[in-house]
Each structure stands twice: as C-alpha cells, then as structure tokens.
Amino acid sequence: MRDVAGIAEALAGAESVCICSHVSPDGDTIGSALAMRLILQQMGRRSRLFCQDKVPDNLMFLPGAGEIRRPEENGDEKYDLFLSVDVSDIGRLGECEKLMSRCSRSAQIDHHGTNHAFAEVNSIDGNASATCVMILEQMKAMGVKLTPEIAQCLYAGISTDTGNFSFDCTDAEAFRAMGDLREAGLPLAEINMVLFREKSRPQLLLLGRAINGMRFEGKDGQIAVMTLTRKDFLECGARNEHADTIVNFGLETTGTRMAVLGREDEPGEIKFSLRAKSPERIDDVAQKLGGGGHPQACGATLMGTLDDTVPVVVAALAEKLEESI
C-alpha cells in the first residue's frame, strides 16, 4: 500500500538522507534516486546517493548521476533517514544494506508486488507501473515543484520500466504522468534517443552474438534462449550493463511466449533475465529460482556454469508454459 503521508513525515523529519538504489541499477532505481535528491534539495535537506554497482552509461546524462557513490565511500557519516527506491527486497541493496545501520530511521518507495516491507516506513504498490510514478505522486502531495530536471529523472524510470510505454504494466497513471512531465519541460525526443535508440558499439556486438546463438526450446519452440559467456564480453569490449535489454529481442520472434538470457556475471555465477508476453507471468518462476521482479520481467542468479544452470531455468519456464495450456 502506498504510504504517501508516512513518507512525507519521514522526509520532513530528516535533515540528512541516505538514498540507495538496487544492484545492477536500471532506469527506474536511478531515476527515482536522482529525482529524490532534487526533491530534497527543494526541501532544504541534505542527501547522498549510493549504489553498489556502476550507473549505466546511457543514464549518465541525468542530472546528478555523477554524484552516485559506492557504499564503501561513505566513511563514518551518519544520516537521519535511510531511503531505498525501487528495491524489491533487502538483498537487492547489496553492500548498501550496511548503510542502514548508519541511519536513525528507514523508509522505502517501491513498486514490486513481492516486496516484504523491510523498512520502518514502507510505501509499496505492486500495481504501479514504475517507482518513478510513485515518486511523482509523492512530490505532488508534498507541494514540491516539478522542474525540467526532475522530469528527466522521472521519465527515465517510467519509460524504461514500461518498455517505452509498451508493456502490459503501462496504465493510465503512467500516461497521465507523461502529461505532467511534458508540461514541466521534458525534452522528450532528445532523451528518447539516448535511452532507446542509440547503442554503443560493444552493445551491438554483444547483441549480435546473443542473437546468433539464439535457440528455441519448450513446446513448439515457444521459449527463446540466449547465452553470453565472459569471453563474449571481453571480445566485444562490453560490460554487464550492455546486456541489460538483450533478452527483450527473444520476444520479438513470432511464436515465442517467453525468453531467457543467461550470462556469466562472475566465474561460477550466472545471471538470468526472464521475459514473457502477457498474459503469461513468470515472477513466480524467478522466485523459485531465488530471484524476483515483475510478472513479465524478472530475473535470478544461479551458481554454477551455463551448461549446468541454463537447462534448469529453461525446464522451469517450460513447466510454467505447460501449466498455462
């Protein structure tokens, strides 16, 4: 349940705020954090931003993105409030979880239905299309002015989590939010080019390898399966973030209902991105594998090799498909 009043009270009572994003950050967690930083500036509050992992290159244009630090850079500084944004469970904080002990209170704003309310003040809505939509509602309730800079941050989150307004989660609230952002001076065409159309050379090379090795499994080949090794990343000059949207291409083949990308994140650690076409939902599959996320977009990390783990994930998706027939 959204707790707009509770979050407002927590922010009003904090002179200093520690804002944390989830590991392997995406547009929604980074956009939410940067928007909250600007909101707190208007309120005359001091804030610092943290994330365990590097901000993706295509989000570095956002106002304040260069100020996001790794948690170990905090030193001994303490805060009145710990605020996590778009973090579905405490494990997704990674090393940022340690910063909670440096804060007097904790709060969170999140739109994952699997969130178990790990903070003292919890504003959670599993039906919201993005956490940035909730941030917009929050700032309106608090009387904070929507500036062009805040609009850019919120657009990054809303547009990326809705698949540029194409996923089934895209509701009327998301479109109403877009109206507000445009009226606030959002440079739509310019930002849309950076977020969705421009791709770096390493990213394109990596995409080529994933698509070239794509295979189709499950009943009638309805599951698109792609894999990437550490060698693929090294030879393409690519980083982990360059693989973030590749799994979506698996759903663009006629006849597929699910897609999975397995990639070697670290030696012995395989990160899986799972996608499904509505009305299929696979968040329960991700949860059984120790992960989580949204009904049609989620993920999990398994220990082992690609040869060991990919069959396990594909089998779980195939079983889910059989259940829905």
pLDDT tens digits, residue range 159-208?
999 989 988 889 999 999 999 999 999 999 999 999 998 888 999 999 99
pLDDT tens digits, residue range 51-67?
999 999 999 999 999 99
- Report the pLDDT averaged over residues 90-104: 96
3-state class percentages of the chain: helix first, strand second, coil last, to nearest 5: 45, 20, 35
Q: Which CATH class is domain 201-324?
A: alpha beta
Task: Look up residue 124 and give its amino acid.
Answer: I
pLDDT tens digits, residue range 241-253?
899 889 999 999 8
What band does 325 get if pLDDT is binned at 50, 70 and 90? Answer: low
Q: Is the CB of residue 296 less than 8 Å from the CB of residue 167?
A: yes
pLDDT tens digits, residue range 284-304?
999 899 988 888 888 999 999
Q: Is the CB of residue 156 less than 8 Å from the CB of residue 62?
A: yes
CA atoms within 13 A on the CB side of 278: 7
Tell me, what's the pLDDT at 322?
87
Q: Exposure of 272 by Cβ count < 10 A (0-12 exposed, 13-18 middle, 19+ buried)?
A: buried
Tell me, what's the pLDDT at 114?
85
- Report the pLDDT averaged over residues 95-112: 97
Size of the chain in residues: 325
- Report the pLDDT averaged over residues 255-270: 93
Establish whether domains 4-197 and 201-324 are of one fold. no
Break the chain into its structural domains and give their ranges.
4-197, 201-324
pTM of the model: 0.88
- Report the pLDDT averaged over residues 80-109: 96
What band does 278 get if pLDDT is binned at 50, 70 and 90? Answer: confident
Chain centroid to CA 149: 20
Specify the DSSP class assigned to residue 120: S
- Report the pLDDT averaged over residues 86-92: 93
Round the average pLDDT of the chain to a whole number and report it: 95
Residue 267 has pLDDT above 90, yes or no: no
- Report the pLDDT averaged over residues 99-115: 96
| Non-local CB neighbours of 76 within 8 Å, separated by 6+ positions | none
Superfamily of domain 4-197: inorganic pyrophosphatase (n-terminal core) (3.90.1640.10)
